[in-house]
Structure formats: C-alpha cells, structure tokens
Amino acid sequence: MNPLHIGDLSPDQRAAGTSFIRLCEGIGRVLRVTMMQPRITGLEHVPITGGVLFAANHTHIVDGPMLFAVIDRPVSFYVKSEAFIGPLDPILRRLGQIPVNRGVPERAPIVAALETLSAGGAVGVFPEGSRGSGAVASVQRGIAYLAVRSGVPVVPVACVGSAKILTPHLPWRRPPVSISFGRPVQIEPGARASRPAISAAAEQIRAAMAELLSESQVDGNER
C-alpha cells in the first residue's frame, strides 16, 4: 500500500472548518432528524472552542457520520484507510478526516491529530480500535498518547442503538438512538509521554467511557 497522504486541509482548516465541511454538517443534521429519533444528552460537556478529543464506543459503521452530524463543531475523526476508496476518498479528505492503518504504528496520523489539537480543533477517536460489542473492555493507547502529549480534555461519548439506523423499518418509524456526552476527562500532560503515563491515561479514558456507556444503556432500557 502506498503511504497515506493525510489530506488537503491544514490544521487551521480542520479546526475552523471550511464551506464544504459546513455544507456536509447541514446535510448531516437533516439526515439526523429524518433517519432516527435522536436522544442527545450532555452537550454542555462539549467545549465550544479549543482543542478537544472525543473518545466514542464503536458498534456500527454509522457511528462516525452520526457524531459528525451531532457535534456542533468540525471534528476530524480517525477513519480506517480502507474507507478512502473511490469517490469517498476526496470527500473524506475534504472533510478533514484522518486515514489510519489499524494495528500499524504510523507517525503521520499522530502528527495530523496533534497539529489539529494545537490549532484548537477537535479530533474524534474510537479507542476500541474496531467495531465490536461496544462494552469498552479495553482501549488502544493511541488516544492516550494524544491526550498526554496535547493536554486537551477528553470527552467520552456513548452511542446506543446506532445499528438500528440502517436496519429495514417502516419509513414512518424512525429508530430511537441515544448519544451521550460525558464530563471531560483531564489527562495530566507530559512532553515525553512515558509508558506509565500513557497506560494510566488509557485506563482513565476507558473507565470514563465504560461508565458513561453503562449509564446510557440503563437509560435507554427505561425508555
């Protein structure tokens, strides 16, 4: 595979957004209310400005686009490199999304994320590494490294019911989907990002995500 190019956008453009990003955000908001019944809580925990990391559980392919449409600021998500194919490739790059090869240590995505955070932008990561049960039994250390190096807050995100969005259903029955944002986790910054610091940060982020997801699933069952 050829080396991945991170995209055409500068860190400042990722942070502030572009006219194309704003157009796609608007389209996303329309689709949000036509394809599901969103129950969004905790938006007060999302910083309006400044660098921030979003750490979300991942159970379905729609999680990323859904959060892109819900969060009211541009977000550059880590997206698997396999998605950057055909007509999707230029669209994802113009949206400021960051391609990553899962399971392969790469410098370029880390630098792109750190530069975006330094410019006051938002970066979204699915720390479990791939789609699964969403139980957050463990998280990969990439987001912990970004948190330690940047010192920005990490906002946990819990998505419950997103798999129902693409499930065939009657057109007038929009599936309920719960999206919860938790209190920001502040990781102790460190220029060297030692292994103990990264391990401690990873566990801190995992625990915050698991707690929020557990609370969201209970609330969802009560509805």
pLDDT tens by residue, 210-222: 999 988 876 655 4
The number of residues making up the chain comes to 223
Is residue 185 pLDDT above 60, yes or no? Answer: yes
Q: What is the pLDDT of residues 121-137, one digit of tens each?
A: 999 999 876 555 555 55
CB of 120 closer than 8 Å to CB of 74:
no
